[in-house]
Amino acid sequence: MSTAPPRQRVLVVEDDDRIRAELRFALEGSGYQVAEAAGVATARQHLAEGCALVLLDLGLPDGEGLDLCREMRAAGDDTPVVVVTARDANEQRIGGLDAGADDYVVKPFDTEVLLARLRSVLRRSRGDVVQGQVRCGELWADATSRTAGDSRGNLDLTPLEFDLLLFLMKNPGRAWSRDQLLERVWGLHGGAGGTRTVDIHVRRLRSKLEPDPTEPRYLTTVCGVGYRMAEPGGDA
């Protein structure tokens, strides 16, 4: 099992003692430092001390996990957040991502898959992607500054939305299946994360970069395959 660099402190916010102990055991076995919170108030105290990533349950005794995530983002705290919850409805997943979470994992979860997704989120937060700027029509993405925009100005993207956009823009004209995107962008294999995750992120990304998301010019659907970014000199 791969180990994390020292001083990577993960905050586990979970009110179930058994699940919290399971997560602590897995994280410490992978070389992470672990802080624990059974509720929102204690989580706030740990966040003030700093951490590399938050594993966040939603239904907590003293508050709602998504409210804590929104509070972090409103305060300018971009610490990566991975929601870990039993809520599996599509609209709940979308709500979690809209609140600023970087990933959404449904219980019961496979520990190794969760650790892989955690590593993927940490890589994205460190900016471990190829450097340089790419363009497609008026749309541009800069890997060095991790910013993207068009003629309207900069786009407000989450780290994962940016990585998905950058990957597609670096491979224009090619159709990618959902499983391929899960592997290349999320770092997951065999559809372990669920292909609905890809659809949710594509939908959110289109809402931000397409002038008319119902008639996408840049990020198009390839029927029976998946998604494709338009060629730089194409219709976009």
DSSP per residue, 69-96: HHHHHHTT----EEEEES---HHHHHHH
Taking residue 178's Cβ as centre, other Cβ atoms within 10 Å add up to: 19
User: Position 97: which residue type?
Assistant: L
Q: pLDDT by residue (tens digit) across 104-161?
A: 998 988 898 899 888 888 876 665 444 568 888 889 998 878 899 998 899 999 888 9
Pairing of strands 63-64, 59-60: antiparallel
Q: What is the CATH number of domain 133-229?
A: 1.10.10.10
The residue ranges of DSSP E strands in 174-235, in sequence order, are 175-177, 219-222, 226-229
**Whether residue 42 has pLDDT greater than 70:** yes
Higher pLDDT, 154 or 231: 154
The Cβ of residue 33 has, within 10 Å, a number of other Cβ atoms equal to: 15
Residue intervals of the chain classified under CATH 3.40.50.2300 are 9-126
Task: Give the residue range(s) of CATH 1.10.10.10 domains in the chain.
Answer: 133-229
What would the two tokens of residue 119 be? 């590593």
pTM of the full predicted structure?
Answer: 0.63
Q: Please tell me the CATH code under which domain 9-126 is placed.
A: 3.40.50.2300
The 10s digit of each residue's pLDDT in 52-105 is: 899 999 999 999 999 999 999 888 888 899 999 999 888 888 888 888 898 899
What gap in Å lies between CA 232 and CA 225, rounded to an integer? 21
